[in-house]
Chain A
Amino acid sequence: MNLLVSAMALLMACAAFVIYDLATFRDVITRNLSVQAQMLGSNSVAAIMFADPNSAESTLAALREAPTVVAAAVYSGDGKMFAAYRRDRAVPVPMTAETVGNELERHWYSAGTLKLVRRIFFQGQPMGFIFIESDLEALNSRLRRYLFISALVLLGSMAAASAASAALTDAVVKPISALAEAARAVALRKDCPVRVDTTGPLNELAMMGDAFNNMLDQIERRDRELLAARDHLELRVEQRTAELAAANKELESFSYSVSHDLRAPLRSIDGFSQALLEDYGDKFDAEARGHFERIRAATRRMGVLIDDLLNLAQVTRADMRREPVDLSAIARSVAADIRKSDGERRVECVIGDGIEAEGDPRLLRVVMDNLLRNAWKYTSKHPTARIEFGQTQMNGGRPVLFVRDDGAGFDPAYAGKLFGAFQRLHGAADFPGTGVGLATVHRILQRHGGRIWAEAEVEKGATFYFVV
């Protein structure tokens, strides 16, 4: 292929050179013929003047010395042939002079010969014409010689090139294809036991082979390191998983114990306090009975606290489903429940239609229950209240839902504490509660990949925004 291309290039160069040279040579021939015509014309002037054709013919006969001239003729001023010369009989000489027109001289090629006509002047007076015809044998032989030389050069250079190419193949191509072969093997087999032979002469290719081998060494080393790291990582993941499982189990048994063992003493405290009151009530004065009431109230509160805490733990552990949930329906049902248990108050509940979310229906009910009960609770000091559940679209794709009330609100400076367990922004005397509700809501929404935040102003109400 490469050989073919270089041959073509060489051929083109030869052709261009030959064409240029032939064109130049043609000019030279024409000029020579013109000079001959001028000389013959001047020498024929006397013969024309004295009407001596024999003299003119002998002048023309001198052309025998010019082997390329095929024929020549002298014409008188009226265009009649005066004298002629033929190298061979066979070559016809035109019987009338070609018209030259206004030009002094004209030449043209026809039938493989160059023909030239020139006016003859003597002291400014036109005397006649001279015609001279030359064959192109010189040109053709030159062309033949050129072709021969070109062919010779081409063959020689081709031979040299293929010799060089063979040498190159050994020195360059073979190592490179060995390198490519090795690279392909590495790519295919995904491991690197292959190495390139670099025992040849020390040159750039050998260096490249060395570099390639080095690279393979490094890749192998990295592979080994990576595998080791992965094994190590797997081991660590296994360990961590086991630790986590153990911690989870511990947490589970912890909350189980809390549920069982922490409540049992409370039952005793409450039960025996009441037993004391019942059995020995008449021996206690009003103050002592008040103390008993305080003990019992504290016990109850602790019981609620434990239950809330267990709920929070439950929310974290419980298996989660994901399905479309009609939050509007849940909100309505929760609102009805609250109203049933505390129907005295004048509260307007506005619940938006068609609010849906994707999540666990039981857990999302816990969210709605907590948020609506909170709204109900924190509006309790106002004679009338308005609680609203709706959705806005301010968070790009997922709708932002909100529960808004016009109750006690809170100082926005403490908004960050809202969602921590046992964090409360109001005293238990103002609003009862354990501070676990919003922590539970927060955790549920977190498990759904959502979030919650709040905006509020003291005595102007609060709005809890959330994304499921």
Chain B
Amino acid sequence: MNDDAILLVEDNADDEALTLRALKHNQIKNEVIVARDGLQAVQYLFGEGDYAGRDLEHMPQVILLDLKLPKLDGFEVLKRIRSDERTRYLPVVILTTSNEEMDRLKGYGLGANSYVRKPVEFTEFIQAVKQLGLYWLLLNQNAPPGRM
């Protein structure tokens, strides 16, 4: 398991496939862990449920988080991430269809690092994923893990 994995939290199989395709399109070869609802994402991050016993030394480089999710929604997941010592500084990019001001405000309020709206046009989406990959996987330096 790499330390530069991407955690993709996405319940829509189409969107998952398209996101993976866009990543591939941009030659982003990082490992992608897919959580299909909010609960799965939380379980992965904290080594619970299906992911019990997972080595928590390894945390994803970036989390791509959808907002509308079954069980726990994106905001709830974000809240858990920010309230736990181990995940407090993980970069979280909200990747969603919603363009509601309310959602953006709430997302940033809960400590999201970015808010990206999924464009309808796939070519635009590929561009967006490319920018995200460049920034969060190459350019950005994450906080050192487990120090705080």
Contact = CB atoms under 8 A, between A and B. Distances in A.
The finding on whether chains A and B are genuine partners in a shared complex, rather than unrelated, reads yes
Interface of A: 256, 259-261, 263-268, 270-275, 296, 299-300, 302-303, 307, 310, 314
A296 B68 CA distance: 25
B113 interface: no
A263 B118 CA distance: 9
Contacts of A266: 120
B15 interface: yes
Contacts of A300: 120-121
30 contacts: A256-B98, A256-B100, A259-B98, A259-B99, A260-B68, A260-B98, A261-B97, A263-B97, A263-B120, A264-B12, A264-B97, A267-B18, A267-B118, A267-B120, A267-B125, A268-B15, A270-B122, A272-B14, A272-B18, A274-B122, A275-B21, A275-B122, A296-B121, A299-B120, A299-B121, A300-B120, A300-B121, A302-B120, A303-B120, A303-B121
Contacts of A296: 121
A294 to B, nearest CB: 15
Nearest to A262: B97
A270 B121 contact: yes
Given A264-B15, A303-B120, A271 B97 contact: no
Contacts of B68: 260
Task: Give the size category of B's interface with A.
Answer: 10 to 19
Contacts of B122: 267, 270-271, 273-275
Residue from B14, B21, B119, B120 with most neighbouring chain A CB atoms (10 Å): B120
Interface in B99-148: 99-101, 118-123, 125
A259 B97 contact: yes
Which 6 A-B pairs rank lowest in CB-CB distance, beginning with the nearest? A303-B120, A268-B14, A271-B122, A271-B18, A274-B122, A263-B97
B118 to A, nearest CB: 6
Contacts, number: 59
A264 B74 CA distance: 16
A194 to B, nearest CB: 60
Interface string B33-70: 00000000000000000000000000000000000100
Residue from A270, A272, A273, A296 with most neighbouring chain B CB atoms (10 Å): A270
Contacts of B99: 259, 307, 310
Interface string B1-44: 00000000000101100100100000000000000000000000
A174 B63 CA distance: 94
Nearest to A266: B120
Q: Is chain A's interface secondary structure helix, strand, loop, or mixed overall?
A: helix
Contacts of A263: 97, 118, 120
Residue from B100, B118, B122, B123 with most neighbouring chain A CB atoms (10 Å): B122
A310 B102 CA distance: 13
A260 B18 contact: no
Contacts of A256: 98, 100
B98 A271 contact: no
Contacts of B96: 260
A397 B123 CA distance: 52
A419 B125 CA distance: 34
A29 to B, nearest CB: 118
Contacts of A275: 18, 21, 122
A211 B104 CA distance: 71
A260 B14 contact: no
B100 A271 contact: no
A274 B123 CA distance: 8
Nearest to A299: B120
A273 B18 CA distance: 11
Contacts of A270: 120-122
A260 B97 contact: yes
A265 B96 CA distance: 13
A383 to B, nearest CB: 32
Contacts of A271: 14, 18, 21, 122, 125
Contacts of A267: 14-15, 18, 97, 118-120, 122, 125
Contacts of B14: 264-265, 267-268, 271-272
A270 B18 CA distance: 10
Nearest to A310: B99
Contacts of B123: 274
A400 B142 CA distance: 57
A266 B14 CA distance: 11
A267 B120 CA distance: 5
A407 B126 CA distance: 38
A303 to B, nearest CB: 4
Contacts of B101: 314
Contacts of A314: 101
